[in-house]
Every structure is written in structure tokens, then in C-alpha cells.
Amino acid sequence: MNRALLTDTIRTISRTQSRFFSIVLIVALGISFFAGMNATAPDMKDTAEKYLTASNAADVRIVSSAGLTNEDIAVLGSIQGVENISGEKFVDGILSVNDQKVSDIDGSQLTVRVIALDCTKAQYAAAGENDKSFMNRPQLIEGSWPTGANQCLVDQSQLSTPEEFKIGSVITVEGDGSDITGSLQNTQYTITGIIRTPLYISYERGYTTIGTGKLGTFIYVPEENFLTDYYGAVNIKISGSEKFRTDSEEYKALIDPYVSYISSISQERLSLRVAALKATYTALVAKSEISYATSKADIEAQIASGEKQVAEILEMAQNGDATLAGYKEQYNQKAKEASEKIDESKLEHSAQYAEWEKKRNAYNAAKELCDKYSSAETDYKNAVTEYNVATTQVNTSLQTVEYLQNLVATTRSAIDQLNTNQAVSLSDIVGRFEESGLVGSEVDQIISSINSWTAVGTAEEMSAYMEPQLQQLEEQLAASKQELSDAQTELANKKAELEKAEKLVATLNQLEAELKKAEIELTQAEKALTTANYDIQMGELEVLSQLSDMKNQITNYETNLQMAKEKAKTIEAEFEETKTNAYIQLDKAKNQLEAAKDFLLSLDSAKWYVSGRAEGLTGLDDYYQMAERTSALSAVFPWIFFIVAALVCLNSMTRMIDDERTQLGTLKAMGFYDKEIVSKYVVYSLSASLIGAVSGCLLGFSIFPTVLTKAFSILFDMPPVVIRFRLVYAVPGIIISVGVTVLASYLAAKKSLRTSASTLMRPKAPKGGKRVWLENFPALWSKLGFTTKVTFRNVFRNKKRFVMAVIGVMGCTALMVAGFGLNNSINATLKNQFTDEEKIWNYDMQIVLNGSYDTTITNCDAAAVVSSRPEISLSMLQYMKVFDTNSARSSKTMETYLLIPENAEIIHNFIRLRDAKSGDPLTLPDNGAIITKKLADELELSVGDIIFVTMTSGYRVGVPVSAIAENYAFHYVYMSKNVYKGLFGANPRYNYITANLATELSPEQRAALSAELTNEYEISAVSYSDEIQTMFENILNSIGYIVIILVVSAGLLSLIVMYNLSVMNINERVKEIATIKVLGFDNREVSAYIFRENILLSLLGTFFGLFFGVILHRVVVAVGEVDIVMFGRSVGFMGFFYAAVLSIGFSMLVNLILRSNLKKVDMVESLKSNE
């Protein structure tokens, strides 16, 4: 290439950067998808390979339920080509974390495999030592290796491990109805680390003989914990195996002969072991059977005697009631009598009381009367005094009268003497007065008056003198006489009064006597009354005290009786407990016996499971299959991108060459060779596509495997994916994309150069217009608006552009339909199975029983306990166990749950069985089984076919499929118990209770309910259905990554393609655009004129994309669908809607971006000639 040409090429690149980079980008996008998607599968395989090599995974693995002995190992080790051999001890049990039972993803009790680990070797291996004899090395992800016997390492899977699996948590392992301590020294372990092991690669952990039969998780414990001398598995390393990849034919060719050889000798080895075991176990079973029978009889006898005792106590308690009733009756009788007697005395008392009252009234009357006369005596005394006073008065008056009479007489005599004897001396007269013996003032006066006399006067004088005195005396006498008479009258009055008073006093005295009498009588009556009263009170008191005594007696008796009764109850309860315990012991013994018997029986069908890596390492095969499915996906997806990318590049380059037509002609005219001219375009397209291809490869190889394996990481326990630059995909990818682009440019340039230089320099004859097929329908065509017609013409004129745009948008829409559809499918799974109104799993909780119960023989008390709980509205016993199923039509073997309800009438309350097609409700038939949809699909079964169920014992039965039920999680075979009995010759032994809650419970109430239920001996675990739902959501959400990948890549595709095409469209039609601008189209009209085409193309692309999306959705669902889950099959209206809206939206976005480009088109362009 000439230097000027090279310069021109480089200049062209920098001048047409947008074109150049659009090629880079689209090539990068196409190839990153192509390379990335294609590399994912081999990257996954390489990851596995690296992991298997690093962990020194066994080539051959032998597992035997009968166990393998050291002799077996010696024999196997002697096989030529066996490089290393080691035994692996393990034991299966039921797990609890921090004393809590844990439930598995299917709601069953989490089973655990305890695997022995040589911790020293493990640590050496972790440090980098490659001891070939140490196989299936676990890798420590977190924490540290155990340092003590009671420490363990746990599984890292997010699905199979409970949340409580954290470093420091304590794990307890126990047997499933049997004792595990015979095999394990410790049953309690502290978690010290989290590991990943090649033994378990997928989240499915394989089978076990306990629980539902599905192994839940595993732990590694230091091997010194194992007390057994046999091995559960033997791992073998074949010499030379490390030379080949696990997925290679060579490897298979190397290993397969060993597998078949070991299988062929297995029967011989096994029979030795079985014989030995049989000998031991037969004896053991026989012995146990006897001891069981003995202890059963013993316990039953004990129980019988206990029952009798309890009955006695109960009877006593009951008789006590009768006695108490007697006492009570007595008491009542007595109380009645007493009250009658008291009533009687009270009656008597009241008579006396009446008497007394009468007496008291009489007395009161008498007293009143007496009181009335009480003044009589005083009156009488007063009368006497008054009478006496009167008498004295009379007497005094009499004396006065006498005195005065005497005085008068004396005086008279004196006077007379005087008159007569005149010669009488004074003294005689005085003497006379003195001699009269009269005493008184009057006398004294007279005397003194006489004495006053100096001489005796004449008689007349004397008499005259004496006369007035006498007169006065006589007057005085008369007055005194009057006084006397008055006094006498008074006295007479007083006397009368006195007499009256005397009479009254007499009356009073009489009355007083009467009163006295009445008083006496009253007193007597009172006394009588008091006595009576006292008698009554005394009587009453006595009766009351007697009654109260009786009452106390009764109360005491009652209390005692109550106590007795309670004691009887306790005794009864105690007895019940003892009885239950005895039965539990008996059950345990029986379970152990049964287990031993089962084991003995299973020995007949015991087998060595000899397998290579793919089957031996659980889930490795699934992992490879997942890788295959991913590569199937990469067979579809990247091509859309690839084709579109190639088309876009091709178009870009052709367009570029057309643009530079004149230059081509000029160069040709100047005498350049064709190849020199062409080289410019080859270099241009080569550099663009190469840059795009290489960067696309780099991006694709790192992004896609990472994102996709991230999506799968929840399903597979693998180390982070190994990212490799894969020439296998890079080279063809680069060659194809670069080749197509370069070839397209080359051919386009060549084609142009075929014409003469002069023609080239002249404008290219414009392409002829063509009618579109739509014009054949004039009726329709003429109705269309003018611009619509133009749009249609333009759209269909450029076939290349049309195809590209439609494919691009179609791809975008299809990817989005697939993406949104996948989302819908995932949601449909969740919705239909768990959350919808008509959800399939309608139960609220699942209760795991500690054993299995044939209800025709033994009662399942747990069922009664569960159904009696007020929180639980309905419950159902069911049999549920995992078996392999297969069919004559398919080579597949499916892990399937066999579910048999005890009561087929109520199963619809817990599981809605409905026809997968019609949605009609199904009932369990009497002559076949209902199987679930995905199981039917996988085994290619339809109604009427036979499905085979292989029991763990190897026993295989066929049952006709009578219906296929809708179901989205796990695989189920539903049977009625009669069908089961018909097939297996025994009743199902129920091991689960499914229950519905009566009301919504709070988390605390739930916890309490499950705690209380698990306290029941027969219940070992309780799980709620929404816990299972959460686990499912986790699985399904991981698949949601794919949705994001799809939508994002679809958006990118759409944007790039539409942008590219639109830019090209505008560039091609600059002159046309300029012309219509000159014609006077405004910006809006110009945009509409051009973009209408884009919109039409988008609509067409979207339309086809919706159809193509449905197909793509199916592919994606097939890849994304985990085995145990069936996704919804429909995209859903909203999926179509979003996809359509988004892809049209992307086109609109492109239009919006390009509006300014249209604005920039210069009208002057219209004047230029065609270049």
C-alpha cells in the first residue's frame, strides 16, 4: 500500500470515527456474546476439572449399605491399576443446631451425613501437600480445621444448610428412631469451619436410609469419633487417571472397565459381608425379639398392676364423695332440727314475755296510782301538824281567856274590895294580884301601875282608875274569846281535814300493798323471762357449736378428699407418664428391632454402588449437564447478535464504499491497481472489526462465565469460575466477524471497481422506486396518508436495512420477552405453588413424626395431639418418602416423593390436586396413581402408562398413571392407601402430619406452637410452609440474574442496531432531507418523514420479536429450570407488554438522539450533484 493511501486510510478512520466505532462496538457486542456464552460451558467444566484435581477426587467410588470391610479394601487394593484406595466412614442421622431441629427445603426433617475426616491430612493438603492417598479433600472456605474430637466442619451450600450453620454453633446428631451412639463417640459438635467438598457438588445431597430418604446436608468430624470398624464407602484412585480430563472419552475409557470389574466382583465380596452380618444380626434380632417380647410382657404387666392401683385410688376418691355427701346430709338434718327447737323455745319465750308484759303493765298502773296518792301521807302529816297547831291555838286561846277572866275577876274583886273596904292597902291589892297566881304582862302592867301609885286613893278613885283597866281587860277577854272560838272552828276544820287525810293515807297504804304485790309479781315474771331467754340462748349456742363442729368436720373431710383426689390425679398422670415412657421405651426397642430387621432384610438386596466420578460425586453429572445446557443456550443467543453484527458491519462498509465512489473512480483512473484501492477498505474494516472482536472476546470471556455461574452458584458448590481466554471460540469468532466485515468491504469495493473509472466518477444512478406489495390493494393503499405511503415505500425499498432493522429489533424484543417471560415463569412457580389464592400447596405446616405408624396396628397419638390444638384447624396423616422413579419410555431416573394420605377425602385441603391441562380437581383413584406434570414430562409418561417406583430395598413396582397433576416444585407420585397396599402388600407407615392453621400466627406463637408440639415424643420436627417458600425464592432469584442479562443485552443490541441503521439511513438520504427542507418542511416534519420508517421497522421487529421471544423463552426456561422445579410455561401478558414497550422505547430513544443530526443537515447539500 502506498504511503499516501495509508495516510488516507488513517485520516478516513479519524474522520469517520462514529462509523468506525459503531463497527467496533457492534462487533464487540456480537463477539462478546458469542465468545462469552460459548466459553461459559468449558469454563464451568474447567472449573470442575481444576477443583477435582485439586481435591484429588476419587476415580471410582463404592458405596454399600452393608458397609465395606478392611478385607474388601485389601481385595480392591490388589486390583491392578488401583493406585490408591481408602475407606470412608460415615453415618446418617437427624440434625439439630443449638438444640433446635431443622427442616429441609422440602419441609422434612433435615438429615445429615456425618463423614469421618483425617484432620491432619486435610491440613497438610490445605498447606499444599499432595498426598495421593487422601482423596475427595474438602476445601476450607471459612473458619479453621477441627482441633478437637467434638468439632466439625459444615456444608457451605446456601440451600441445604440451615441459617444456623455458623461457626461456633453447636450441632447435635441423633439417630432416626435408633441409637447412633453405637457408631459415634460424640454426638455434639461445635462448628469450626465451613467447607466445600467434591463429594457433594450440587445442592442435592443424594439419598439416605433415614428420614424421608433424602439426604439434607453433611458434616465432617474428626475420624476418631467413629466407633465402627467398617466403611460406608471406599474411594479409589486409578493410576494414570490424572492424565485425562473427567469429561473426556479417554478418562471414561480408563475408568469404566474398573467400574464394571469392581461391580462384577462386588457380589462375591458382598455375600461374605452379608453372610457375616446376617449371622450377627439374625442372632441379634432373635435375641432382641425375645427381649422385646419379655420387656413388652413385663411392661404390660407393670402397666396392668399400675392401672389397678390407680383404679383403687380413684375409687377411694370417688367413695369419699359419698361419705362427704352423708356428712353433709347429717349436718343439714341437725341444722334443721336445731332450728326447729330454737323456734319452739322462742315461741314459749314469747308467751312468757307476753305475761311479763302484762305484769309490767299492771305494775306500772299500780305504780302510777301509788304515785298519784303519794302526797296523801304528807297531806296527812301536814293535817296533823295543822291540827296540832290548831289545838295549841285553842289551848293558848283558852289560857288567854282564863287568864283574862281571872284577871278580870281579880280586878273586879279588887275593885269590889276597894269599894267595900276602903281601907285596903296597895300591897293588899298587889298581893291580891300576886296571890292570884296570874302571870302576864297585863298583870305586870297592872301591878306596876298599882305600884306606881303613891297612896291608895279613894275607893272611887281607885275603882275609877281600875275600871278602864278592867274594861280593857274585858275587851281583851272578849277578843280572846273570839280568838278561841275561831281557833276552835279552825281546829274543827283541821280535824275534819285530818280525818280525811287519815282516810287517804289508809287508801295509800292499801295501794302500796298492792303495788308491792305487783312488783313482786313483775319481778317474778321478769325472772321467768330472763330464765327463758337464757335458756333459749344457751340452747341456740349449743346447737350452733354443735353444727359448727360438724361443719368443720365436713370441711376437713372435703379438703382431705380434694387432696386425695388431686393426689389420685397426679398418681394417674404419673402413671400415664410412666406408661407412656414405658411404651416409648417399648417403641424405641421396637423401632430398633424393626431397624435391625429392616437392615437384615435389606441385606438381601444390599448392593455395592460402584460409580465413576460423574455419578460417584453427587451432582457432578448435573453440573456437567448444566454446562451442556448453557452451551445449548449459547447455540441460540449469540447468533442473533452475531448475525446482526455482521449485517450492520456489512452495511456500514458497503455504504462507506458507495460514499467514496468518486474517490474509487479517481484512484482507478490514476492507475492504481484494484487491490491497492481495495486495501484501504480492507484495512479500515479489518482494524475496526479486529479491535471490536478482540475487546469483545476479552469482555465476553470475563463477564459471561462470571455472571452465569453466579446465577448457578446457589445450585452448585464449586469454586469461583476459572476464566480462560479461549482461542477455540476467540479465533473462529474473530475470524468470522472480522472475515465477514472485511470480506463484505472487499466484495463491495471490488464490485464498485468492476465498473469503469468514468462511471464511478459520475454519480451513481439513483435506485429506481418500486411499488410495495401493499399497493396491490388499492382500496387499502389509497386510504393511507401520503407520508405513510412514502414510509412504506422507503421501508421496503432497502431490503438490507429492512432485514437488519427487523432482525435487530426482533432480537431485542425476543430477548426481552424471554427475560420478562422467565421472570414471569419464576413468579408463576412461586405463585402457583405457594402464594396464589388457588396455590397447590395449601398446607401451613408439616410435622415430622419420630417414627412411622401403621395406623391399623398402632395409634398415632401425635395425630390426636395435633388435631386437638386450637391453633390447628385441620390435619392429616401422610406417608412421604423419596424414591427413584423411571419409565419404559425414558432412560431418566427421577428423585420422586411418594405421598400417601391416610385420609384421601381431605387431601385437597392441603394439596390441591388438579389436572395439569384442564385444571379440573382430581381425586385419588383406586386403581392407579396421580403423578406430577414435570415428572410426567421427564419420564415421557401420559395417562395410562406405567410408572416404576424403586424402593430403597431395590424392590420395584409399576403403577398405572391415572392422572397428571399440576405441580411446580419437586416430583410427586400420589396414591391412595389401598393402591399402596395392593402394590406393596402392607399398609403405609405414616411418618408425617400435614396441618393447616386456624388463624394467622405471630412468629412467637409459631415458635411456641412448634416448641410445644416437638415436646411430644412422637413429633420430632415442625416446619411452616412459608419457610420452604423462602428457600424456593432464594433458588429462583438466582435465576433472575439471567433476566437481567437478557434485558440488558437486549437493550444494548437494540440501541446499537437502531442507532447504526438510523445514522446510515440519514447519511444515505442527506440530499433527500436537504431537498425536503428546501421545499419548506419544518424540523418536526423532517423528523417524522425519516423516523416514521424507524418506527415502522421497530413495530415490525417488535411484532416478530414477540413470536420469536416465545420460542426463546422456552429455550431459556429449559436451561434455567432446576430439576426439582417446574417453571410456569407462559410469558404472561405483562412480559409481552414490557418487551414491546421497551423495544419501541429504545427505537424512540434512538430517534430522539438523532433528531439533532437531522437538524444539522445543510440544505446546500441539495444542490450538490450525486456523488
What's the min distance (Å) between Cβ of 1122 and other proteins? Answer: 53
Question: Which residues sit opposite 142 in a β-bridge?
Answer: 194
Q: ∠936-937-938 over CA atoms, to 5°? A: 95
Helix (H, G, I), strand (E, B) or coil at 605: helix
Cell of 288: 432382641
Using the minimum distance from each CB to other proteins, give the nearer residue, 784 or 943. 784
Candidate ranges 195-203, 435-443, 828-836, 1068-1076; the one touching other proteins (CB under 8 A)? 1068-1076
Using the minimum distance from each CB to other proteins, give the nearer residue, 432 or 793. 793
Among the listed residues 354, 479, 538, 1163, the single contact to other proteins using CB under 8 A: 1163
What's the min distance (Å) between Cβ of 660 and other proteins? Answer: 19
What's the min distance (Å) between Cβ of 798 and other proteins? Answer: 9
What's the min distance (Å) between Cβ of 776 and other proteins? Answer: 14
Residues 6+ apart with CB under 8 A from 729: 34, 35, 38, 39, 697
Question: Where in 792-831 is the site for other proteins (CB under 8 A)?
Answer: 793-794, 797
What's the min distance (Å) between Cβ of 2 and other proteins? Answer: 25
Helix (H, G, I), strand (E, B) or coil at 391: helix
Using the minimum distance from each CB to other proteins, give the nearer residue, 1070 or 1149. 1070
Q: Is 78 in the site for other proteins (CB under 8 A)?
A: no
What 3 state SS string does 1040-1062 have? Answer: HHHHHHHHHHHHHHHHHHHHHHH
Q: Look at the block and give the residue holding cell 419420564.
A: 939
What's the min distance (Å) between Cβ of 795 and other proteins? Answer: 10
Q: ∠492-496-497 over CA atoms, to 5°? A: 115
What's the min distance (Å) between Cβ of 1088 and other proteins? Answer: 12
Letters for 759-798 (x = contact with other proteins by CB under 8 A, - = none) are ----x-xxxxxx---------------xx-xx--xx--x-
Q: Is 1166 in the site for other proteins (CB under 8 A)?
A: yes
Letters for 1111-1150 (x = contact with other proteins by CB under 8 A, - = none) are ----------------------------------------
Q: Of 996, 968, 995, 1007, whose CA–CA distance to 1128 is shortest?
A: 968
> CA–CA distance from 585 to each of 284, 349, 851 (Å)?
18, 78, 13
Each residue of 766-775: b (16+ CB within 10 Å) or e?
Answer: eeeeeeeeee
Listing DSSP states for 158-203 in one string gives: TTTS-TT--TT-EEEEE-SSS--TTTBS-SEEEEEEEEE-TTB-BS
Using the minimum distance from each CB to other proteins, give the nearer residue, 610 or 1076. 1076
Among the listed residues 398, 1072, 1137, 1145, the single contact to other proteins using CB under 8 A: 1072
Among the listed residues 297, 541, 1152, 1167, the single contact to other proteins using CB under 8 A: 1167
Q: Is 1076 in the site for other proteins (CB under 8 A)?
A: yes
What's the min distance (Å) between Cβ of 1083 and other proteins? Answer: 8
Among the listed residues 272, 1011, 1078, 1152, the single contact to other proteins using CB under 8 A: 1078
Using the minimum distance from each CB to other proteins, give the nearer residue, 76 or 1090. 1090
What's the min distance (Å) between Cβ of 889 and other proteins? Answer: 58
Total residues in contact with other proteins, by rule CB under 8 A: 31
**H or E stretch at 973:** strand 972-974
Candidate ranges 244-252, 326-334, 500-508, 1070-1078; the one touching other proteins (CB under 8 A)? 1070-1078
Letters for 558-597 (x = contact with other proteins by CB under 8 A, - = none) are ----------------------------------------
Using the minimum distance from each CB to other proteins, give the nearer residue, 257 or 763. 763
Going edge to edge, which strands form the sheet with 231-238?
A: 82-88, 231-238, 60-68, 608-611
End-to-end CA gap in the chain: 25
What's the min distance (Å) between Cβ of 1163 and other proteins? Answer: 4
Using the minimum distance from each CB to other proteins, give the nearer residue, 767 or 799. 767
Positive or negative: CA dihedral 251, 254, 257, 260: negative
- Contact (Cβ atoms closer than 8 angstroms) between residue 41 and residue 628: yes
Each residue of 1102-1117: b (16+ CB within 10 Å) or e?
Answer: bebbbebbbebbebbb
Q: Is 168 in the site for other proteins (CB under 8 A)?
A: no
**H or E stretch at 154:** strand 151-155
What's the min distance (Å) between Cβ of 779 and other proteins? Answer: 17
Using the minimum distance from each CB to other proteins, give the nearer residue, 777 or 955. 777
What's the min distance (Å) between Cβ of 1084 and other proteins? Answer: 10
Candidate ranges 56-64, 158-166, 902-910, 1161-1169; the one touching other proteins (CB under 8 A)? 1161-1169
Q: Report the 10 Å Cβ neighbour count for 671.
A: 8
Among the listed residues 128, 168, 468, 1080, the single contact to other proteins using CB under 8 A: 1080
Using the minimum distance from each CB to other proteins, give the nearer residue, 504 or 790. 790
Q: Look at the block and give the residue holding cell 432531507.
A: 1073
User: Whats the size of the chain, residue-wise?
Assistant: 1171
Q: Is 1164 in the site for other proteins (CB under 8 A)?
A: yes
Give the phi and the psi of residue 568 in degrees, each rounded to 5.
-60, -40
What's the min distance (Å) between Cβ of 1075 and other proteins? Answer: 4
Residues 6+ apart with CB under 8 A from 919: 966
Using the minimum distance from each CB to other proteins, give the nearer residue, 334 or 797. 797
Candidate ranges 482-490, 758-766, 957-965, 1104-1112; the one touching other proteins (CB under 8 A)? 758-766
Report which DSSP code applies to 773.
Answer: G
What's the min distance (Å) between Cβ of 933 and other proteins? Answer: 54
* Strand residues in 640-779 grouped as ranges (E): none
What's the min distance (Å) between Cβ of 800 and other proteins? Answer: 15
Cell of 201: 457438588
What's the min distance (Å) between Cβ of 714 and other proteins? Answer: 55
What 3 state SS string does 823-855 have? Answer: HHHHHHHHHHHHHCCCCCECCCEEEEEEEEECC
Q: Of 1117, 1115, 1108, whose CA–CA distance to 934 is shortest?
A: 1117
Residues 6+ apart with CB under 8 A from 811: 640, 641, 644, 1050, 1053, 1054, 1057, 1105, 1108
Using the minimum distance from each CB to other proteins, give the nearer residue, 912 or 1077. 1077
Cell of 510: 292499801
State the virtual CA torsion across 411, 415, 416, 417 in degrees, nearest 10.
100
What's the min distance (Å) between Cβ of 1087 and other proteins? Answer: 13
Among the listed residues 1081, 1103, 1104, 1137, the single contact to other proteins using CB under 8 A: 1081
- The packing angle between helices 786-797 and 1083-1120, to 10°, is 50
Candidate ranges 120-128, 574-582, 704-712, 1162-1170; the one touching other proteins (CB under 8 A)? 1162-1170
Candidate ranges 60-68, 364-372, 825-833, 1160-1168; the one touching other proteins (CB under 8 A)? 1160-1168
What's the min distance (Å) between Cβ of 786 and other proteins? Answer: 5
Question: Which residues sit opposite 1024 in a β-bridge?
Answer: 845
Listing DSSP states for 1116-1165 in one string gives: HHHHH--TTB-------HHHHHHHHHHHHHHHHHHHHHHHHHHHH--GGG
Among the listed residues 304, 354, 1079, 1152, the single contact to other proteins using CB under 8 A: 1079
Using the minimum distance from each CB to other proteins, give the nearer residue, 282 or 1166. 1166
The residues of the shown chain that bind other proteins, judged by CB under 8 A, are 763, 765-770, 786-787, 789-790, 793-794, 797, 1071-1072, 1075-1082, 1085, 1163-1164, 1166-1167, 1169-1170
